[in-house]
Amino acid sequence: MKAVRVHGYHTDPKIDDVPEPTLSGPLDVIVKVGGAGVCRTDLHILEGQWADAMGPDLPYVIGHENAGWVHEIGAGVTNVSVGDTVILHPQPSCGLCLACRAGHDMQCENAFFPGLSNNDGGMAEYLRTTARACVKLRPETNPADVAALADAGITAYHAVRKAVPDLYPGTTAVVQGAGGLGHIGIQALAALTATRIIVVDRNPDALALAKQIGADETVISDGTHIDAVKDLTGGVGANVVFDFVAEGGAENDAWQMTAPAGSQYIIGYGGELTIPTLEFVGGEKNIIGNIVGTYNDLAELMVLAQAGKVTLHTRQYPLDAALDALHDLDAGRVRGRAILVP
């Protein structure tokens, strides 16, 4: 089969012919990939940012936003059958550790992360995962239409879901970055809360899309955006700021846009947050990190997606054009999400 594999860092991956994955345990599931999302994390992988944390053996297949059809199942699999349409939780978990039993799949002590850890991902024709990672979809669902919800979607939804108790009517939420994750976060906020949604982005086209999918107000990120948000919030800032950028200084901007007793949810990464401790004490502000989400988050998100309340804005590429997709994403030419279709 064809697969997109990293052979070295700071260089383009290659499209190789490799053997198809095979079952190795009773709970394994082989999925025929129908859509694989291209994520900024894939760019960070190529830059070597995850090399020490995950330590994958090179070469290996990237791709952690995957949906498709069940191709083969292990002897112990009972929740899906061959032919089922599925979306895959990006981090298969064991189900036995304390974190799993508490419903915190992303903190599983025995989890792995295909396409990120030392396990082949889904930028290929077939992918091996586990029964616990499979969320069944309606048979008519096109996997390419929902694949990026497996990571970008669940990550954005997880952050919004955690913030729901603080976003009652009369509150304000800021979404910083209306790109691949942010445009999902905007829709999740509109579906789950009655908060006022302000979206900040440097791209006018992204702001125009934000208006179409749920933003009440939009602010261009041009150096005056912190003051603009303060003006829209009576001078105090937002109750919750969702930072889908968190690099290039945006992480510090998000802190300045957060109201006293408010919360800054950090979803993007790459930057460095620098805050005087007195501001924590005096403002009683919170910083909350986010990584992926739970199986239930993904299942809930798919209910919204199949009801048409959360939709992905995508640009599809054939698997052979994976390098074009990665380059377009890196250059900012992709609105929404890039999807590889084998």
Catalytic residue among 10, 11, 22, 44: 44
Known catalytic residue at 41: yes
- The pLDDT of residue 53 is 87
| Residue 334 confidence class, pLDDT cut points 50, 70, 90 | confident
Nearest to 30 by CA among 79, 75, 69: 69
C-alpha 13/C-alpha 60 separation (Å) is 9
CB atoms within 10 A of CB 148: 29
| Residue type (1 letter), 8 | G
Q: What is the mean pLDDT of residues 239-247?
A: 96
Whether 84 has a pLDDT exceeding 90, the answer reads yes
Mean pLDDT of the chain: 95
pLDDT digits (tens, 9 = 90+) for 99-116: 999 999 889 999 999 999
Tokens of 74: 């292990």
**Which listed residue (7, 22, 41, 141) is catalytic?**
41
Model confidence at 312, pLDDT cuts 50, 70, 90, reads confident
Residues 137 and 140: their CA atoms lie apart, in Å, by 8
What integer is the mean pLDDT of 46-58? 92
Q: Beginning with the edge strand found earlier in the chain, give each strand of the sheet holding 196-201 in spatial order.
A: 217-220, 196-201, 172-176, 238-243, 258-266, 286-289
Residue 223 has pLDDT above 80, yes or no: yes
Question: pTM of the prediction?
Answer: 0.91
Residue 235 pLDDT: 97
* Confidence at residue 270, expressed as pLDDT on a 0 to 100 scale: 86
Active site residue 85: no
Report pLDDT for 142: 95
Which pLDDT value is given to residue 88?
Answer: 97
Side chain identity, residue 316: Q
Give residues with Cβ within 8 angstroms of 173, minimum separation 6: 163, 167, 189, 193, 195, 196, 197, 198, 238, 239, 240, 241, 242
Domains within the chain, CATH numbers bracketed: 2-151+292-341 (3.90.180.10), 154-289 (3.40.50.720)
| pLDDT tens digits for range 149-175 | 999 899 999 999 999 999 999 999 999
Q: Is the per-residue pLDDT at 340 higher than 80?
A: yes
Nearest to 196 by CA among 215, 218, 182: 215
- Cis status of the peptide bond prior to 59, with omega within 30 of 0: yes
Separation of alpha carbons 8 and 282, rounded Å: 47
In whole angstroms, give the CA distance from residue 48 to residue 5: 14
- pLDDT value at 180 more than 90: no
What average pLDDT score do residues 192-212 get? 96
Q: What is the pLDDT of residues 273-306, one digit of tens each?
A: 999 999 888 999 999 999 899 999 999 999 999 9
pLDDT value of residue 197: 98
Residue 120 pLDDT > 90? yes
Query: Average pLDDT of 216-236?
Result: 97
